[in-house]
Structure 1
Amino acid sequence: MPASSDAPSTTPATRDADARSRRVVAKALADNALVALWVGTSAIVILFNKYILTAYGFPFPVALTMTHMLFCSVVAFVIVRALKLVPASEGVTREVYATKITPIAALFAVSLWASNTAYVYLSVAFIQMLKALSPVVVYAIGCSIGVERYSHERLANMAVVTLGVMIASYGELNFNFFGFAVQLVAVLAESCRIIAVQLVLGKANLKLNSITTLYYVSPACFVFLIVPFAMLELPRLAYGLEVTHSVRYSAGIMLANAMCAFALNAVIYLLIGRTSALTLNVAGVVKDMFLIGISSVIFEAPISATQLVGSLIAFGGVCYYNYRKLNDAFAAAAAAPTQGEVGPKRDSQA
C-alpha cells in the first residue's frame, strides 16, 4: 500500500494536457514578441514616411511607395531565386496568381498609396484616430462575406467606435477633407487586404511565408502603382528636379526607408500567417495610442480636447470589440480539446 501511494499520479491524459499547455505558452510568447516587433517597425515606418513626405521635402507618396515595392521585390527575388534560402511555393500557378495574389497586390497598392498620401495632408495623430475605424470595416466586410456573425450588440459597439471617430474628426484643428477621404479609402483597402491575406494563407493551402508572399505580391503591387505615378507625380517630380530644384532626394535616406518598409511588410505577413486579422486590431490599438502621443511631440501637431475625447471613445469601443472577440476565441479554444478527445486515442494524436 505505501508503495502504491508513492507511485506517479500523472496519467497520459495529464501529460498530454501539460504538453498542450506548454505549446500554447510558447506560441503565445512568440506571438507577443512578433506583435511587439510589428508595433515598433510600424511606428518607425510611419514616422519615417511622414518625415520624408513633409519635413524632408519629397511630397510624392506614390513614388515613395513604388520605392518600397521595388526594394521588397529585389530583396525577395534574391532570397528566393538567387540565394535559394527560401523555396518558392509550388502551388502558385498562373491561375492562382491571377485570382488570389493579384487582388491582394491591388488592395495593397491602394492601401499604401492612399495611406502615404494622407500623411501629406493630415497629422499622424489624426490618421491614427481614423484608423480606429478598421475594426468597423473588418466587421462589416466579415458579415457581408459570411465570416462574421451579426449581432445587435456588435452593431452597437461599432456605432460607438464610429461616433468617437466623428467627434475626433470634428475636433481636428487642421482638418483637410481630401486627406480625410483618402485615409478612409486606405482604411477600407487595408481591411480588405488583411482579410484577403488571412483567407489566402489560411485556406488556400499555398504554404506562403512572409518572404514568398512579398516575392509574389510586391512586383504586382509595383506594376499597379505605375499608372498613378505616371499620371499624377512623374510630371511634377521631373519639373521639380529639373527646373525649380525644390525636390530633395537622397539615395541613402530612401534606401534606409525602403529597408524599414521591407522589415515591416515581412513582419505583417508573418504575423497574419501565424495569428489572425484580429491580432492586428488588438495590437493596433496600442500602436495607435503610442503614435498619437509621440507624433504630436515630434511634429508639434496640437491635439484638441474634443479630438482627445473622441479618440478615447473610439479606442474604448475598439478595446471592447477586441475583448469580446478574444473571449469568443478563448471559448472556442477551450472547446476544441474536448472535441478532439472524442473517439479513439490514435485519432486525437493524429
Structure 2
Amino acid sequence: MEEKGPSIELNGDEVSPRSSTSLPQWEKPEVSVPSPIKEQFITALWILLNTVATLGLIFCSKRVFNDEQLHSCQLLVVMWHFTATATVLYLATRSPFRAFNAIRLSPWDLAPVCAFFAAYVILGNLSLAYNSIGFYQLAKVMTTPCVVLLNFMLFRKTITRYMLIAIFAICIGVALTVRSSAETQLFGIVIAVMAFTATALYQIWIGKKIEDFNVSPQQLLLNQAPLSVLLLVPFVPLFDAMPDIHAVPTSVLWSLFASGIMASLFNLSQFLIIGRTSALTFNVVGHLKTILILSFGWYSEGTVLSQKEICGIILALGGGWVYSHLSLSRK
C-alpha cells in the first residue's frame, strides 16, 4: 500500500504537496516589491521640480506680462515657450538622458491637436495677464466640471451622484471668489472662462489622440510643440506688436527666458511623475500646488480675503479633491 506523503493545512483544508500545482506560501514570490530608497528619492526630486517649475512659470509669466511692450506680445511669448519645451524634450531623448524614444507623426494628423494646444496656452496666458494670480488659478479649477459637461454633450458620458455633488461644490466655490474680480475686470472673467473651456477641450482631444496614435504624452508633445510654433507664425503680425528689446528692462528679459525654461521643465517633469508613480499621486501633487500658488499669489499681491472668499476656496479645492478620488476609484 502506497504511503501518503505529508499534508499541508491551508485555511483549514488539507492539501498534498504532490497533488497541488501551487507553491507553498513561504515559497511564493512577492507580488509587489517596495521601491528602493534611491527610486523614491528620485521620484521626490521630480515632484519637487514639478512644483518649483509650476510656481516659477506662473510668477515669471506674470512679471513678463506686466511689462507694457510684452503685454502685447502674447503669441511671441507662447512661441518661445513652445520652442523651449521642444528643445528640452528633444535633449531628453538623447544620450545620456534617454527619457523616452522620439518618433515622427504626420503633421496633417497633428494639426487639429496643435490648434487646441495653441488655443489653450494663449488663452491661459491672456487670463494670467488680465487677472490676479489667485483668480487665474481658481478659474483653472473649473476645467474639471467643464470636462464633465463637454463629455456629456459630445459622448453622452455620465457621472455618479456624489461626483456631481463635488462638481457643484467646485462651481459654487469659484463663484464665491469671483465677486472682487468681477467688479474690476469683466474682460478678465470672460478670458478665464474661454481659457478653462479651451483647456477642457484640449484634455479631451489629447486623450483621444494619444489612444489613436498609440504614443506616450511626451512623444506627442515633442511632435506638436514645434508644429505649434509654425502654426502661430502667420498670426503674429495680426495680433502682436513687435517690441523694442532695448527698451525692455533686463530683469524682465531674464524673466522671459526663465519662463520658457520653467514651461519645458514643467511639461517634462509632469510626464515623468505619472510614469514613475500613478495618477493618484499626480492629482495629490496638483492640489498641493494649487494651494501653494494661491497662497503665494495672494501674499505677493497683499490681498486680504473675506470670509466668503475663504469659504469659496475651501469649497473649490475640496470639491476638486473629492472629484479626483471618486473618478480614480471608478477606474
State the TM bucket, normalised to the shorter chain. 0.7 to 0.9
CA distance in 1, matches of 2:281, 2:152: 18
The letter of the residue matching 1:218 is A
Higher percent of residues as helix: 1
Which of the numbers 4, 22, 31 marks the counterpart of 1:19?
31
Superposition RMSD on alpha carbons, in Å? 3.9
Residue 44 of structure 1 aligns with which residue? 56
> CA distance change for structure 1 residues 104 and 65 in 2, over 3 Å: closer, same or farther?
same
Contact 1:171 1:306 in 2 (8 A): no
Q: How many angstroms does 1:253 deviate by?
A: 3.8
**Is the aligned partner of 1:70 residue 2:83?**
yes
* Offset of residue 302 of structure 1: 3.9
Aligned-partner SS, 1:207 = coil
Match of residue 300 from structure 2 = 298
Q: SS of 1:164's equivalent?
A: helix
Larger radius of gyration: 2
Q: CA deviation at 1:38?
A: 2.4
Structure-to-structure mapping, 1:1-350, within 5 angstroms: 9-10=24-25, 14-15=28-29, 18-20=30-32, 22=34, 34-54=46-66, 58-59=70-71, 60-77=73-90, 87-89=101-103, 92=105, 94=106, 97-99=107-109, 101-146=110-155, 148-172=157-181, 175-201=184-210, 203-204=211-212, 206-208=214-216, 210=218, 212-234=219-241, 237-238=242-243, 241=244, 247-248=248-249, 252-271=254-273, 281-329=283-331
Q: 3-state SS of the aligned residue for 2:223?
A: helix
Residue segments in structure 2 that go unaligned for 5+ positions in a row: 10-16, 18-22
* TM-score normalised to structure 1 length: 0.73
How many residue pairs align between the two structures?
311
Q: Any stretches of 5+ residues in structure 1 without a counterpart?
A: 330-350
Deviations 1:234-271, CA, capped at 9 Å, x for gaps: 2xx34xx29xx764466544333211111112223445
Matched residue, 2:13: none
- Residues 1:67 and 1:251: Cα distance change in structure 2 (over 3 Å): same
Matched residue type, 2:59: L
Percent identity over the alignment is: 18
1:141 CA displacement: 2.9
Counterpart Cα distance in 2 of 1:275 and 1:221? 29
